[in-house]
Amino acid sequence: MVGTDDTTLSLTRPAYGASAAPPLTVGGRVTGVDESIRIQVRHPGSDTPVGERCCLPAGGENAAWSARVSFTAQPGRTLTVVASTGGHVAEVERFAVTGVTSP
């Protein structure tokens, strides 16, 4: 298995290994009350995200969520897409990741 395995936050789109052009539609499922999902697109060797979308309100029981995020990356780069939620106890309480490439 590649990525993360969590029962309360998932990242199902884009698929692992997909070619990802901006703006990228990112989505999954979440269980929780008053969640705020942060999406980052990152690439190895960079301390900062190449794209970010913050504070998508979400919540419910296994509820679908999705958002679009713009990013800038050189063609052929491996990218990591990260979805995280938190803020109740810690800044990041749950996260999910997948890997894609920029066309």
Q: Do 31 and 8 meet the contact criterion of CB atoms below 8 Å apart?
A: yes
Q: Do 51 and 24 meet the contact criterion of CB atoms below 8 Å apart?
A: yes
Any idea what DSSP says for residue 83? E
Angle at 72 between CA 71 and CA 75, to 5 degrees: 120
Helices (H), 19-96: none
Residue pLDDT, tens place only, 28-48: 999 998 899 999 999 988 899
pTM of the model: 0.90
Cα separations (Å) of 49 from 57, 72, 96?
Answer: 20, 9, 15
Residue pLDDT, tens place only, 56-69: 999 899 999 999 99
